[in-house]
Amino acid sequence: MGIERGEGFVLRVRDFAESDVIVTLFTEQWGKRTGIAKGARRFKSRLGGVFDLLNRVEVVFYAKAQLDLISQGALISGYPRLKSSLNTVVSALSVGKLLERLLPLHQREDAPYALFAEYLGRMEEGTSPAEQMAVAAMLKIVAVLGHRPQFTACVRCGSTSGPFVFVPERGGVMCTRCEQRGIDISRGLALSLNALIDRPLSRAGIIHLKPDEIALARDMLDAYVRELVGAPRGMMKV
């Protein structure tokens, strides 16, 4: 392992020691990596402001098995328009949080990286509905990471007629003849969420979801991701 240079997105930042920060990055070449940026919190540090959440950055680091040593960092994009809206930044942070929890360490993930870059770019443009785009991005990321939820038919019997409940531990919807416990979901919403996975992000706004449907989709994603990562209830909110 030696000195590496590349770019990525800031997913998580934690203060460490007196003036250091521990940064979790989603890099283009090496996937998720965590490194320590020494002195980044000092007043005159050249790294000040570089490692804000969601920033796209270029870094130079010494690669290690566990905690990399970040020696240099430069801002590529801070997405100022995205961050000027509380609603938009909260939605974007939820997508970043999902990536931080689901991505394996040190494994290149081209499809999720491209999705996240496109998502942040569209949010910076300010022309897409923030909350619905976040739901679409999270569903697509979960799917390309190999955990696509089943929304079109009961995962046990294959019925498409419903009524349905979403059962996180089974990875999708089940008809109420097969399972009574779960999150109630209409067939219409289930099909809409399935369409959000299949459609490109550029067309996510064409599918109209009501505010209560977006909230329900977020609850289902929260429960599903908690199941995937084995987190206790309340510890994983995306």
Residues 225, 199 share a domain: yes
pLDDT reported for residue 135: 97
More confident residue, 213 or 238: 213
Residues 224, 114 share a domain: yes
Domain span holding position 38: 3-78
Residues 87, 43 share a domain: no
**Which residues does residue 24 pair with via DSSP β-bridges, in sequence order?**
12, 34
CA distance 80 to 89: 10
Last residue of a domain, one of 63, 78, 93: 78
How many domains does the structure of the chain reveal?
2
Of residues 22, 30, 31, the one with CA closest to residue 2: 30
Confidence at 232, pLDDT banded by 50, 70, 90: low
Confidence at 127, pLDDT banded by 50, 70, 90: confident
Confidence at 236, pLDDT banded by 50, 70, 90: very low
Residue 123 lies in a domain: yes
Token pair belonging to 41 = 């919190």
Residues 40, 123 share a domain: no
Residues 186, 91 share a domain: yes
Looking at residue 26, its amino acid is F
Residues 216, 102 share a domain: yes
Q: H/E element holding 141? A: helix 130-142
More confident residue, 188 or 127: 188
pLDDT single digits (tens) 4-54: 999 999 999 999 989 999 999 999 999 999 999 999 988 888 888 899 999
Residues 156, 42 share a domain: no
pLDDT single digits (tens) 56-107: 999 999 999 889 999 999 999 999 999 999 999 999 999 999 999 999 999 9
Residue in this structure with the two tokens 């109630």, named with its chain if needed: 184
Residue 167 lies in a domain: yes
For residue 20, give the CATH number of its domain.
2.40.50.140
Residue 176 lies in a domain: yes
Of residues 227, 211, 162, the one with CA closest to residue 188: 162
Residues 91, 61 share a domain: no
Token pair belonging to 94 = 């939820």
Last residue of a domain, one of 78, 104, 119: 78
What number of residues does the chain have?
Answer: 238
Residues 223, 208 share a domain: yes
Considering only 62-66, 98-102, 139-143, 196-200, which range has the smallest mean pLDDT? 62-66
Distance between the two ends of the chain, CA-based, in angstroms? 33
Q: H/E element holding 58? A: strand 56-62
Residues 97, 128 share a domain: yes
Taking 90 as the threshold, does the pLDDT of residue 231 lie above it?
A: no
| Residue 143 φ/ψ, nearest 5 degrees | -65, -45
- State the average pLDDT over residues 221-237: 75
Token pair belonging to 13 = 């930042």
Residue 156 lies in a domain: yes
The pairing of strands 164-167 and 172-175 is antiparallel
Q: Report if pTM > 0.85.
A: yes
CA distance 39 to 185: 49
Residue 124 lies in a domain: yes
The pairing of strands 183-185 and 20-27 is unpaired
Taking 60 as the threshold, does the pLDDT of residue 233 lie above it?
A: no
Residue 237 lies in a domain: no
Last residue of a domain, one of 78, 107, 140: 78
Please check whether residue 27 is in contact with residue 7, taking contact to mean a CB–CB distance below 8 angstroms. Answer: yes
Please check whether residue 118 is in contact with residue 203, taking contact to mean a CB–CB distance below 8 angstroms. Answer: no
Residues 225, 121 share a domain: yes
Residues 200, 87 share a domain: yes
CA distance 151 to 160: 9
**Which residues does residue 69 pair with via DSSP β-bridges, in sequence order?**
36, 62
- State the average pLDDT over residues 205-233: 90
| Residue 7 φ/ψ, nearest 5 degrees | -125, 160
